[in-house]
Amino acid sequence: MTPIDRPPPAGADGDVALAAGGDTAAFERLYRTHLPRIYSLARRMAGPEAADELVQDIFVRAWQKLGTFRGDASLATWLHRLAVNVIVERFRTLGTRRDRFLPDGEAVLERLPSSRPDARVDLQMDLHAAIERLPPGARAVFVLHDVEGYRHHEIGGLLGVSTGTSKSQLHRARMTLRALLGRGDA
Amino acid sequence: MDPWTDRLSEYIDNELTPADRAACEAHLAGCAGCRDTVTAIVALTAHAQRLPDRGPGVDLWPAVLARLTPVAPAATPMAARRWSLSLGELALAATLLMAVSAGLGWLAAQRPGGGGQEDAVIAVSEPSTVSDDVQLASFADEDYDAAVTDLELVLLEQRDELDPQTVRVIERNLQTIDEAIRQARQALDDDPANPYLHSYLVDSRRRKLDLLRRATLLTTVSQGD
């Protein structure tokens, strides 16, 4: 099971219908239910600087498109896919579609401080910070594959790169993260 | 360079052909460095799948809400038949409420023992509403009363077609306007020649009619869809 298959909360169907009809209160309930999931996705893929604005764009798009949601998948899955599309559009808008997928992780390693500022920092926090230090392309592939559960051919389709590029970027991301975290057990 | 180093992720993700997988495993049996790498990546990916979700540090909902535009009826197959005022209409209703409330404040200030905020209220309401060419209010305007009654009936019958928030906004505004009309009439009993009171009463009645028309138009649109 991938993380996007989480079951919808009780009462969500009613709120979907109400929100699709223009009920902003119902839409706010949906927003607050799914916000942590969507915000985390946006932040991991695009970084903290862009996450707030992306989240707004994603939920505005969801409001506009909610009428097309027919319940074939869970709302969480539908919203997640929509969010990925909005984020990828942003990558394209910023000209990061192909050229930003080429840089490798070694450049990031060179910019890192020589020692960790606080060895007692929680490992999960370390992984969050390390993901944000990855180059955009490697970061997007790692988040989509290892965090969100997408397959390489899906990632290739979303990001406009070959399956081979997706695989190589994933491996670079993993190796870079291993080095960033300072030890092999993450 | 180790030929398998760059393919260890494919091995872990089970994306190698059977022949390549067998060759990779043979290599791993004799390469401690690659075994360490495999162990580390497996732990990393397991860790990544358990990352907790976190929300933003600030409340983004107001910014989202400000960007929501009315939903197009044709694009709402799952939607309940509910209609709401647009943000612009809600803003208009809020402005209307402010104008009527300011007038109510002025009326309150004219009564003996009126509240202490009359200076501020008059500053808002008087310059825009007092006119030398004032229209005298008619209390026996049968056409007006009939129109209001008809619209109120339509609104009552179609109330369930409207979004609850919209209903609340409409009802709150109607209550405020009705109160303004009631107080204006009461004040005119004491001061029948007061031009401001006449102007204010006419304006309040017109506002009520406008609001009812807007509300019933929403329900008419929903029926026609």
Give me the domain span that covers residue A171: 99-181
pLDDT digits (tens, 9 = 90+) for B154-204: 666 666 667 777 777 777 777 777 777 778 777 777 777 777 777 777 777
Residue in A17, A44, A56 nearest the CB of B80: A17
Residue of B nearest to A179 (CA): B40
What value does the mean pLDDT take over residues B122-139? 36
Cβ-based contacts of A127 with chain B (< 8 Å): 44, 47-48, 51
Residue A152 lies in a domain: yes
* pLDDT-derived band at B93, boundaries 50, 70, 90: low
Q: Do B71 and A27 touch (CB under 8 A)?
A: no
Same domain for A113 and A88, yes or no, is no
| pLDDT of res. B141 | 58
Cβ-based contacts of B91 with chain A (< 8 Å): none
Residue A117 lies in a domain: yes
Q: How far is B38 from chain A (nearest CA, A)?
A: 9
Give me the domain span that covers residue B17: 5-49
| pLDDT of res. A124 | 54
Tokens of B30: 């004799």
Looking up tokens 């001061």, which residue turns up? B191
**CA separation for the pair A182, A118 (Å, rounded):** 12
Q: Do A22 and B165 touch (CB under 8 A)?
A: no
| pLDDT of res. B173 | 77
φ/ψ of A91, rounded to 5, equals: -55, -45
* pLDDT-derived band at B64, boundaries 50, 70, 90: very high
**CA separation for the pair A3, A98 (Å, rounded):** 27
Tokens of A72: 């074939």
Q: Do A174 and B53 touch (CB under 8 A)?
A: no
Residue A157 lies in a domain: yes
Same domain for A17 and A86, yes or no, is yes
Cβ-based contacts of A24 with chain B (< 8 Å): 65, 68, 84, 165
Q: Do A70 and B8 touch (CB under 8 A)?
A: no
Q: Which among A169, A172, A147, A146 is positioned nearest to A156, based on CA atoms?
A: A169
Residue B39 lies in a domain: yes
| CA A39 to the chain's CA centroid | 8
Cβ-based contacts of B163 with chain A (< 8 Å): 21-23
Interchain CB contacts (distance < 8 Å): A and B:
157
Q: Do A24 and B80 touch (CB under 8 A)?
A: no
- Report the domain count for chain B: 2
Query: SS3 of A116, please?
Result: coil
Is 90 exceeded by the pLDDT of residue B220? no
- Mutating which of B13, B64, B86, B162 best tests the A interface, going by the most A Cβ atoms within 10 A? B64
B87: CB partners within 8 A, 6+ apart: B66, B68, B69, B70
Same domain for A53 and A13, yes or no, is yes
Residue A1 lies in a domain: no
Residue B52: CB atoms within 10 Å: 8
Where is the domain boundary, A93, A123, A139? A93
Where is the domain boundary, A93, A114, A142? A93
A45: CB partners within 8 A, 6+ apart: A84, A87, A139, A140, A143, A144
pLDDT digits (tens, 9 = 90+) for B18-58: 999 999 999 999 999 999 999 999 999 999 988 999 899 99
Q: Do A174 and B9 touch (CB under 8 A)?
A: yes
- In total, chain A counts a number of residues equal to 186
Percent pLDDT > 70 in chain B is 53
Same domain for A21 and A86, yes or no, is yes
ipTM of the complex: 0.76
Residue B62: CB atoms within 10 Å: 8
Percent pLDDT > 90 in chain B is 23
| pLDDT of res. A146 | 95
Q: Do A178 and B44 touch (CB under 8 A)?
A: yes
* pLDDT-derived band at B1, boundaries 50, 70, 90: low
* pLDDT-derived band at B16, boundaries 50, 70, 90: very high
Same domain for B45 and B88, yes or no, is no
**CA separation for the pair B161, B96 (Å, rounded):** 23
Residue B119: CB atoms within 10 Å: 8
| pLDDT of res. B98 | 59
Same domain for B110 and B212, yes or no, is yes
Residue B68 lies in a domain: no
**Residue A69 CB-half CA count within 13 A:** 28
- Report the domain count for chain A: 2
**CA separation for the pair A105, A181 (Å, rounded):** 13
What is the pLDDT tens value at each position of chain A, 186 positions in all?
A: 444 444 444 456 788 989 988 899 999 999 999 999 999 999 999 888 889 999 999 999 999 999 888 777 789 999 999 999 999 888 776 654 444 444 444 444 344 333 344 444 455 558 888 998 898 889 999 999 999 999 999 998 888 889 999 999 999 999 999 988 874 443
| pLDDT of res. B211 | 74
Cβ-based contacts of A17 with chain B (< 8 Å): 78-80
B165: CB partners within 8 A, 6+ apart: A23, A24, A25, B84
| pLDDT of res. B225 | 42
What value does the mean pLDDT take over residues B95-109? 57
Residue B149 lies in a domain: yes
Cβ-based contacts of A164 with chain B (< 8 Å): none
Cβ-based contacts of A175 with chain B (< 8 Å): 37, 41
Residue B171 lies in a domain: yes
| pLDDT of res. B212 | 73
Looking up tokens 């239910």, which residue turns up? A33
Residue in A22, A63, A69 nearest the CB of B84: A22
Where is the domain boundary, A34, A61, A93? A93
Residue in B43, B47, B68 nearest the CB of A60: B68
Same domain for B105 and B152, yes or no, is yes
Same domain for B38 and B116, yes or no, is no
| pLDDT of res. A40 | 95
Cβ-based contacts of B80 with chain A (< 8 Å): 17-18, 21, 23
